[in-house]
């Protein structure tokens, strides 16, 4: 399915509708637009402290210390993955595979 890159809400909405809504993702409940440690994340599963942040390609290039930030968040017990809208639009299946792999690594087993 083609995702419209011109509408910034499309990639996030598409992931919500097709992956996270109503415990679709391996039976885990995800919430949208959660504020965690002064960061607004797009999707969050409190049960396993797993968060997904979707960024615009422009914000990816800002002086954002991703490695340091992820380490800081990780030390607080949160697994954060950062994905660009462009990645979702260009290869949705690869994005789903990446999210799934990271989630399975966190929960410690393949919950499929």
Q: Give 53-110 pLDDT, tens digit per residue.
A: 998 875 555 555 567 777 778 888 889 999 988 888 888 899 999 999 999 999 987 6
- Enclosing domain of residue 58: 8-103
Q: What CATH number does residue 79 fall under? A: 3.40.960.10
What integer pLDDT is reported at residue 61 of this predicted model? 53
> What distance in Å separates the CA atoms of residue 35 and residue 43, rounded to the nearest whole number?
10
Q: Which residues contact 81 (CB under 8 A, 6 or more apart)?
A: 51, 52, 53, 98, 99, 102
Predicted model pTM: 0.80
Helices (H) and strands (E) in the chain, counts: 5, 4
The answer to whether position 89 is within a domain reads yes
Across the chain, the runs of DSSP E, i.e. the strands, are 31-36, 39-45, 50-55, 79-84
Would residue 63 count as lying in a domain? yes
Segment 11-23 mean pLDDT: 88
pLDDT at position 7 is 47
Structural domains in the chain (count): 1
Say what the pLDDT of residue 12 is: 86
- Does residue 77 fall inside a structural domain? yes
Task: Give CA–CA dist 87/106, Å, rounded.
Answer: 22
Provide the pLDDT confidence category of residue 2 given band limits of 50, 70 and 90. Answer: very low
pLDDT score, position 10: 77
């Amino acid at each position: 399915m083609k995702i419209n890159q011109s509408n910034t809400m499309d990639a996030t909405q598409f992931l919500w509708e097709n992956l996270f809504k109503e415990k679709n993702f391996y039976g885990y409940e995800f919430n949208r637009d959660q504020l965690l440690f002064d960061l607004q994340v797009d999707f969050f599963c409190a049960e396993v402290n797993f968060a997904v942040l979707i960024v615009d390609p422009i914000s990816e290039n800002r002086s954002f210390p991703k490695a340091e930030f992820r380490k800081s968040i990780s030390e607080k017990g949160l697994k954060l993955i950062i994905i660009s809208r462009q990645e979702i639009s260009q290869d949705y299946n690869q994005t789903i595979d990446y999210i799934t792999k990271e989630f399975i690594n966190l929960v410690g087993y393949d919950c499929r």
